[in-house]
Amino acid sequence: MTVRAVVFDLDGTLVEFKLDYKTLRADVINLLASRGLPRSLFSLSESVFNMLRKAEVSMRNNGRSEDEIGEIRDAILSMADRYELEAARRTNMISGVIPTLKALRGMSLKMGLFTVNGVKATEYILQRFRLKGFFDVIVPRNLVPSMKPDPAHLREVLEKLGVKPEEVLVVGDSEGDMACARELGAAAVGIRNERNPPEKLRSAGATYIVSSLTEIVPLIEKLTRTKRG
């Protein structure tokens, strides 16, 4: 495989994002219930963005106007932005990030970032840890019509980088990251953790499994040697 670019997830891959998911989800459910949607439609175990998708479908099915749907969408995303920015102030960088990104830069590889976090939190984190300069393309959720696991999110990054899917390694820790890569035909590198063990990542489409970011550079070197051989 000829690797020309590496695309990273942010939360759980480069940083440990300390977001209070439970409280955010509860607040979103309360907001939706106050707008007449049944609480039973939503669960604290699902993401805010999944709740939003379900809410939009339900509202359209019940004849609610697009203006009202847009108003609720904006309110939920604004709420998520507030929680994310607060969490960004307590976020820690994962071990091995800087050496890995420096090594990849030294290999003349293009690098992209795609994340379900909003622009404000993403910018804050990248500036705080001085990571922004490593990336040629950064695409948070606000810059795409549909975010991962929709492959359109990753496709936007690849188009901006000017690379083909078969030339890319997608590095992440979630099923959504793996699914995006699989759908487009890119190689997916799953970083295993307690939430996402190897079997879960492989089932979602991981081509390779690693325990830490420090394994990315040796993996690329191995793939390059195999290609030359």
> Full-prediction pTM beyond 0.85?
yes
**Average pLDDT estimate for 209-214:** 95
42 and 135 share one domain: no
**Average pLDDT estimate for 188-207:** 92
76 and 97 share one domain: no
35 and 129 share one domain: no
Sequence-distant (6+) residues with CB within 8 A of 213 are 13, 14, 94, 95, 96, 97, 100, 171, 191
**DSSP3 helix / strand / coil % (the chain, rounded to 5):** 55, 15, 30
Say which DSSP state 188 is in: E
**pLDDT over 60 (residue 133):** yes
**Average pLDDT estimate for 48-75:** 94
Nearest CA among 144, 148, 122 for reference residue 49? 148
Q: Identify the domain containing residue 199 by its residue range.
A: 5-17+92-228
109 and 222 share one domain: yes
**pLDDT over 80 (residue 227):** no
For the domain that residue 126 is a member of, what is the CATH number?
3.40.50.1000
Which residue type occupies 87?
Answer: A
Last residue of a domain, one of 29, 60, 88: 88
Domain count, the chain: 2
